[in-house]
Copies of this chain bind each other. A is one copy, B any other.
Amino acid sequence: MAPIRVVIEDIEPQVDGGSAAVRRVSGEEVKVEVRIFTDGHDQIDGALLFRFAKSNAWQTTPLLPLGNDLWQARFTVRELGQYEYTVCAWVDAARSWQRDFKKRFAAAQETEVDFVLGAQHAVALALRAPKVDARRLTEWANALTDAKRGREERAALAASAILSDYAHRYPDPQLVLRHEPPLKVEVERERARFSTWYELFPRSTSAMPGVHGTFADCEARLAYVAAMGFDVLYLPPIHPIGVTERKGPNNHIAAAADDVGSPWAIGADAGGHKAVHPQLGTLDDFRRLLTRTEELGMEIALDLAFQCSPDHPYVHEHPEWFLHRPDGSIQYAENPPKKYQDIYPFNFASDAWRELWVELKSIVEYWMAEGVRIFRVDNPHTKPFAFWEWLIAEVRQTRPDVIFLAEAFTRPAAMYRLAKLGFGQSYNYFAWRNTKSELSEYFTELTTAPLSEFFRPNLWPNTPDILTEYLQFGGRAAFMIRLVLAATLGASYGIYGPAFELMEHNAREPGSEEYLDSEKYQLRHWNLERPDSLCDFIARVNGIRREHAPLQTNSDLKFHRIDNDSLLAYSKTNAERSEALLIVVNLDPQHLQAGWVELDLRAIDVVAEQSFQVHDLLSGTRYLWQGARNYVALDPQHAPGHIFRIRHHVRSERDFDYFT
C-alpha cells in the first residue's frame, strides 16, 4: 500500500505536546479540536477515540467538520483517574464518490459507469462489515447496478445515507491514520475545581485567652466556619513541634520556655509526621474532628511540610536522609545569609533517596487511612519535581479522590510545572494583583489555554505568610474588595481566618508582609463576636457561590470595558450557558468610583436591542439596563462591588415591577 494520505495536526487540548495531562473534574466535557486534511479533493472522515485508561475498550464518536480543515468532537469524563484520547482520520473513497456522483447527476452527465464504481465501493465496505451490514451493502450495490431500475431511482439510492453511514463505520484500516501516543486527561472530583477554603490554627481556638487550643476546641469552632459557607478546613501541621532552636514570638531566635514554636518545625520526642501534637489532643480527638467536619458538609485539608525539626525521630533513625557538612553537623535550611537552624531539609539526592521517598509516601498514606483526602503541600517547589510526579501518581493510582494543593510561591515556570505533574490546585500571584490591568491580564492568562487546561488557581487574599500592603492600609473596604475578587474570579478561593474576617492588618514591621504577633509563632485569641466582623458578608458571598454555577468554574471569564480604571467589570457563565453573572468591583477602597461599563453583550447572552435586568445578589437591588453602555457607581464604604445576575426577557418597564 502507498503511504497514508491523511494528515492530523494541532490536536487541542494538549499540554506540552501530550507529555502532561489535561485536567478535568468528573462530569466535565473535553472538547477536542483537530486539523485533519489530505491532498487533492477527496472526502475525509475521522473519529475521536477515548477511554478510561484502566479499561481496555476505546469508545468512539465522529469528528464533525467546523470548516477550514478544523474538526471537533466531545466526550464527558465520569470516572476519577486517567482518561486517554486520540484522533483517527482517513480518506473516504466511498463518500468522495457519492459527493462527485451527486454533482455529475445534477449536471445531467452520463453516470452508468459511476453506478458500477459506487457498487465497487459498497462491495469493498461489505468485506469489512459484519454479516447483516454486509448483506445490506451488497443489496444496495446490486440495486445500484440493476439496469431494470430507473435512473432516477438508482440516483436516489446512490445519494442515500446508507453508503456514507457504512463508510464511516468500516473505513479501510490501511487508510486510517491514528495519532500516537494518546493524550491524557486527569479527572478529579468536583472539589478540585470548586472549593472554598478556611485556614485556622487549632491551637488558637480555645475559648480562654492564653490557653492552648485543642482539637476539641476546634470542633466547637466548626459550626462558625460552616455557617460562613466554607467547605474545606485547612489546618497547618498538627504534628509534634521541635524544641531545639525553637523560634519565639515574631520569629525571635530565642524562644522562652513556654513559647509554642512553629507548627512547621515538625518532629519531637512525641513523634514526627505520623503523630499529633500532644497539646492538641490525641489521634482519637483528631478522628472525632474529622467526623464532625464531614457531618457539617466540610472536609479537612492537612499540611504536608516535608522537613524536620532537629528533634524529629528521622534525624537519628535515618541520618542518611539529611545532608552532612564536613564538620559532621547536619545542614539546616538556609537562604544565605538567612539561617533556619530549626529546620532540617531532607536530602532528596542522597544515596538512600528511594527509602526516603517511600517513607514520605507512607506519611500521606497514613493520613489517607485516617480519611484525609486533601493535602496542602508546603513549598513543593523546593523538592524535586520527579518526587511529586511519582508520589501523586502513586496516590491517585489507588485513591483518585485525593486532591493536592501546591503552595509554590515561585517563578511561573516552576509553579506551572507542578500543576502539570499532578497538583490539582495551586496557590498563585492573586494576592499581589491589585490594579485593573494586573487583574485582567493575569486572569485572562489563567482562564485561557494552555494554562486553563491544567492549572487550577486557588485564590488567597491573605495567608499566615502574606499580609499584603493593600490589606494593611485599605481598611475594612479593602478586605471586602479582595474577598469579592477572590470569590468571583476563582472557582476556588480561601482565607486565613479569623485574621481575615476580623481584618487583622498590622504588619510585623514596615515593608513586611508578615503579621505582627503571627500565629505561626504564638497563640492568638480572636474575638469572633466583634460587631465589625466580616463573617456575615463572607457568608453572603459564599452563599451566592453555592447557588450560582458560573462562580463554580473558571471557564468563560470575560473582562468588559469600563471607563474608570478603579472599576473592574467581568462576566462569567457556566458551561451550559444557562446563567450569566456580571461582577463590577471598585478596586479603590477609599473613594466612590463611578463609570460607564461597555458590555460585550454576546459574552452575557444579551440581544442588543433587548432590555435586561441586572439583579445585585449582594444587595438585592435590581436595575433595568439596555444596550451595552450602562452606568455604575460604587461607594466602598457601602458596597465593594456588584455581583449582578443577568435576567433576560424583561420586556417593558411594567414587567420590571413584577419580576422576582
Contacts and interface: CB of A to CB of B under 8 A. Distances in A.
B2 A336 contact: no
A40 B136 CA distance: 66
Q: What's the number of copies of this chain in the assembled complex?
A: 2
B413 A2 contact: no
Interface in A109-135: 109, 113, 116-117, 120
Interface string A351-381: 0010000000000000000000000000001
Contacts of A117: 325-326
A39 interface: yes
A465 to B, nearest CB: 17
Interface in A368-425: 381-387, 411-414, 417
Nearest to A104: B336
A349 to B, nearest CB: 5
B353 A2 contact: yes
Given A336-B103, A337-B107, A337-B109, A40 B2 contact: no
Interface string A558-600: 0000000000000000000000000000000000000000000
A469 to B, nearest CB: 23
A5 B386 contact: yes
Interface string A217-260: 00000000000000000000000000000000000000000000
Most chain B beta-carbon contacts within 10 A, residue among A68, A335, A384: A384
A7 interface: yes
Contacts of A4: 386
Contact of A381 (B17, B39, B412): B39
Nearest to A327: B113
A417 B9 contact: yes
B107 A7 contact: no
Interface string A1-38: 11111010100000011000000000000000001010
A40 B417 contact: no
A334 interface: yes
Interface in A60-118: 68-69, 99-100, 103-104, 106-107, 109, 113, 116-117
A348 interface: yes
Contacts of A40: 381-383
A414 B381 CA distance: 43
B41 A5 contact: no
A35 to B, nearest CB: 5
A327 B115 CA distance: 11
A519 B635 CA distance: 76
A2 B354 CA distance: 8
A549 B457 CA distance: 48
A91 to B, nearest CB: 9
A9 B386 CA distance: 15
A39 B413 contact: no
B39 A414 contact: yes
Interface size class of A (residues with CB under 8 A): 35 or more
Contact of A7 (B3, B9, B68, B417): B417
Contacts of A412: 68-69
A3 B350 CA distance: 11
A326 B381 contact: no
A41 B336 CA distance: 11
A69 B384 contact: no
A39 B384 contact: yes
Contacts of A329: 113
A106 B337 contact: yes
Nearest to A418: B39
A60 B189 CA distance: 47
Given A16-B9, A414-B39, A337 B384 contact: no
Given A39-B381, A337-B109, A68 B411 contact: yes
Nearest to A386: B3
A385 B336 contact: no
B335 A41 contact: yes
B103 A413 contact: no
A197 B213 CA distance: 85
B382 A325 contact: no
A413 B138 CA distance: 37
Contacts of A39: 381-385, 414
A68 to B, nearest CB: 6
Nearest to A116: B326
Contacts of A99: 336
Contacts of A116: 326-327
Given A40-B382, A68-B412, A385-B7, A104 B337 contact: yes
Contact of A113 (B3, B17, B326, B381): B326
Contact of A382 (B3, B41, B382): B41
A107 B339 CA distance: 12
B411 A69 contact: yes
A103 B104 CA distance: 82
Given A69-B413, A104-B336, A113-B325, 15 more contacts: A1-B349, A5-B386, A7-B417, A17-B17, A37-B414, A37-B417, A39-B383, A39-B414, A40-B382, A68-B412, A69-B411, A69-B412, A69-B414, A103-B337, A116-B326
The 9 lowest CB-CB distance pairs between A and B, nearest first, are A107-B337, A3-B386, A103-B336, A116-B326, A2-B353, A69-B413, A100-B336, A17-B17, A40-B382
9 contacts: A2-B353, A3-B384, A9-B16, A37-B413, A69-B413, A99-B336, A104-B337, A113-B326, A113-B327
Interface of A: 1-5, 7, 9, 16-17, 35, 37, 39-41, 68-69, 99-100, 103-104, 106-107, 109, 113, 116-117, 120, 325-327, 329, 334-337, 348-350, 353, 381-387, 411-414, 417
